[in-house]
Each structure stands twice: as C-alpha cells, then as structure tokens.
Amino acid sequence: MSAKESPVTALPSSAERPPLPFLDLARLDGAAADRALFLSELRAAIRRFGAFYVTGHGVHPAFIDSVFDLSRGFFALPEQDKLSIEMVNSPHFRGYTRAGWERTRGLADWREQLDVGAERTALPQGPDQPPWVRLQGPNQWPETLPELRPAVLRLQDQLTAVSRRILSTVAVALRLPEDSFDPILTDQPTQLVKLIRYPGHDAVPADTAEGQGVGPHKDSGLLTLVLQHRQSGLQVETDGGWADVPPVPGTFVVNAGELLELATDGYFRAAVHRVVTPPAGVDRLSTAFFLGAGLDVRVPVLPLPDDLAAEARGPERDPLNPLYSSVGENTLKSRLRSHPDVASRHYADLVGASA
C-alpha cells in the first residue's frame, strides 16, 4: 500500500491558530503565580472544550517518530500477516481491525487499527463473574514485526505516566487533593494504545458514511492522549460547531473521557470528537492512548468545592449512550458497540449470536 503523506505542517500562524488552548506542563514547575494561572487555564479548557493541546509532556520526539515508523511498517505488512492477529480472535478486544469493520453510532469507520492493552493474564471467567472480566488478557502481536512489541509497551508506560500526571493536576485545578484519582485508577488501570491509519478518500468505498474516518463519539475512559502524525482530520465539537484540531509538532491532544464527566458530575463534559477522511492520495496516522480506571471500580462523584459543584450540570443523559459508573460496564459498552464481530463471537450471551 502506498504511504504518501503531506509535508509536516508548520506551527499554525496566529490567524489560523486552532481554538483549542495550548497548555505547557512545564509551567507546573515554574513560579507560584504562573502555576496558579496554569491551573485555572487548565480547568477552563476542559470545562469549555473537554480537550486541549499539551506540551512539556517529556516524551522524547525521536521516540514518538520511531513509533510512527513502526506503525507505518505494521500497516504496510501483507494483509495475511495483519489478519493473523485479527481482533475477532480475542475476547479481550486486542489485535488488528480492518478498515470498515469498526462502527461508531452504527456506521462503518474507515480506518484500520491495532489495539494493544495492558499485557496482563486473562481473569478467571464463570457464570458468577461479571462479563467485563473478559476484557483483561494478553495482546496479539505480529510475528513479522517483532520490534513493535517493546516499543508499544514502552509507549504505553510513558503515556500512562503522563496521563496520571495530568489527572493529578486536574485534581489540583479542582481544588482537590492531588491523589484524588488514585483510588479509582488502582494499580491496574485500564490502558489502551491504538495505532491507527486512515486511508485517503480515494480508497474508501462509495457506500461508506461520507468522510467518516471515525464517527462522532466520546471516549469511555478518564483521559485520552492523541498523538497525531502529519495529516489533519481530528475535529472537536464546540459551541461554534466542529473545530479542526490539526497536528502540531511536539504536542498531544488531550480529551476528557466519560469517566471524568461522571467523576465531576458533569462539571467537565467528555469531548465529542471525530476524524474526517483525508483527501484522495494521502492517508493519516495517529496513535491514541486511553487511560481508564480499574475495571472493578465504581466511579464516585468527587467532592467538588461548593462554587464548582454549583456549576456541575450532571452527566449528559443520552439514551443512545448511557454512562455507567461501573468502569467494567462502561468500558465493555463501548467495545461491544464498536466491534460487533468480537461481540457476536465472544459475547453472544450478552448481544445474541447474530453473525
């Protein structure tokens, strides 16, 4: 498959600057007055957009480049190598998904991807166990690209540390103790790295939802970090409609997820976002990292200070997307919806055997 990409985008000029704020984590180590300003900017950014660009995250740019090179190498493998680790083999929703096989709000997403979770042994299953115990288990790795495993697991470790740091900063920005999220993260939080490739417009079948790289959705966890390669396509829903969130070198995009919405009683809302299909002749690579809480945890509403609690709107009530405070249930909800092939093979007891 050809691997054409447009050249690296320069930092946008102020006229074209996207509306999402840029927040530099290095300011946490600066003067007290600026630290306080940083915390209020962080709170305002998540409150208003549910999303922001983060800089000063400390992950080495050369390492990120090497992960994108490996991702490019993975997607260029012969199709049979990719299909040998297809997600449908895995009750844990790990492995490769072909373009068009994942669904968002019932419509096919035009992207191929590799899902890698925390490398843990499967939990015992049985009639007395909740169905979400099946989410935990080993990953599937391509035999023909052995370098991928150590790199992706190292990325997962580093992005977990960055996300945990952002979450403790979010707690402080809410005037709560910085360890407020630790009891729900537990020592086994839900971690997921997704390597993604969006084919260009010319490679998408005509019967696919117009331009749907991935359809509008909220992420189910606490926080997501999106590492974007060179091509644009990510958009976040704002008061003024869809806002482009182009790649900016050295940054990650941080999205608030559903569990953060629940934990703050809707003071923060999870970002609704989507990816539009790249133009003909180009494709787009991204790598997303999702941090959720421990699967066996029920997310409590955090005790916000009175002035902030007064501004909490409650979690959104969307009949098409109920939010569950049971982390296992909330995680399984979005996995089953996105991957109907895995659902019918491994969760027929829940969804009915349809395929």
Chain positions contacting ligand AKG, by CB under 6 A: 194, 196, 214, 219, 226, 228, 234, 273, 275, 286, 288
Which residue's entry shows tokens 């060179």? 230
Shortest spacing between CB 176 and ligand AKG, in angstroms:
27
Q: State the angle between helix axes of 32-49 and 148-173 in degrees (0 to 180), rounded to the nearest 10.
A: 100
Based on C-alpha coordinates, what's the Rg of the chain? 20
| Residue number closest to Fe ion, CB atom | 219
Alpha helix positions (H), 51-209 = 61-75, 79-83, 148-173, 182-185
Tokens, residue 295: 């699967």
Which of Fe ion, ligand AKG, none is residue 275 near (CB under 5 to 8 Å by kind)? ligand AKG
The yes or no reply on residue 219 touching Fe ion (CB under 5 A) is yes
Cβ closest to ligand AKG, residue 113 vs residue 169: 113
By beta-carbon proximity to ligand AKG, the closer residue of 168 and 286 is 286
Q: Which is nearer to Fe ion, 133 or 275 (CB)?
A: 275
Q: Which does 194 bind (CB under 5 to 8 A by kind): ligand AKG, Fe ion, none?
A: ligand AKG
Picked from ligand AKG, Fe ion, none, the partner binding residue 139 (CB below 5 to 8 A depending on kind) is none
Partner from Fe ion, ligand AKG, none contacting 270, C-beta within 5 to 8 A by type: none
Residue, CB closest to ligand AKG? 286
3-state class (DSSP) for residue 98: coil
> Would you say 89 and 95 are in contact if contact means Cβ atoms under 8 Å apart?
yes
Is the distance from CB of 185 to CB of 83 less than 8 angstroms?
Answer: no
Q: How far is CA 322 from the centre of its chain?
A: 18
Nearest distance from residue 27's CB to ligand AKG, in Å?
25
CB of 269 to Fe ion, least distance (A): 14
Structure tokens at 36: 């306080």
Q: Which is nearer to Fe ion, 219 or 258 (CB)?
A: 219
Instruction: Provide the minimum distance between the beta carbon of 215 and Fe ion in the complex, in angstroms, as a whole number.
Output: 10
Identify the burial level of 323 via C-beta atoms within 10 angstroms of its C-beta, where 0-12 means exposed, 13-18 middle and 19 or more buried. Answer: buried
Least distance in angstroms from the C-beta of 329 to ligand AKG: 19
- Residue 226's binding partner among ligand AKG, Fe ion, none (Cβ under 5 to 8 angstroms by kind) is ligand AKG
- The distance between the two most distant Cα atoms of the chain, rounded to a whole number of Å, is 59
Give the shortest CB-31-to-ligand AKG separation in angstroms. Answer: 34
Nearest to 274 by CA among 320, 243, 317: 243
Of 248, 253, 250, 251, residue with least CA distance to 230: 248
Q: Scanning residues 151 to 210, which ones bind Fe ion (CB under 5 A)?
A: none
Q: How far is the CB of 145 from Fe ion (least distance, A)?
A: 25
The CB-of-101 to Fe ion minimum distance in angstroms stands at 17
d(CA 18, CA 140): 37
Structure tokens given for 314:
């409650």
Q: For 211, what's the count of Cα atoms within 13 Å in the CB-facing half-sphere?
A: 9
Return the one option of Fe ion, ligand AKG, none that residue 286 interacts with (CB less than 5 to 8 A, by type): ligand AKG
286 contact partners, CB below 8 Å, separation of at least 6: 196, 198, 226, 227, 228, 229, 234, 275
Q: Which is nearer to ligand AKG, 6 or 129 (CB)?
A: 6
Nearer to Fe ion, 196 or 304 (CB): 196
Smallest distance from the beta carbon of 226 to ligand AKG, in angstroms?
5
Cβ closest to ligand AKG, residue 82 vs residue 197:
197
HSE, CB side, 13 Å, CA atoms: give it for residue 327. Answer: 27
Q: Which does 87 bind (CB under 5 to 8 A by kind): Fe ion, ligand AKG, none?
A: none
In degrees rounded to 5, what are phi and psi of residue 67? Answer: -65, -40
Scanning 17-25, 45-53, 217-225, 302-310 for contacts with Fe ion by CB under 5 A, the matching segment is: 217-225
Size of the site for Fe ion (CB under 5 A): 1
Q: Residue 41 corresponds to which tokens in the numbers above?
A: 């900017």
Residues that bind Fe ion (CB under 5 A): 219
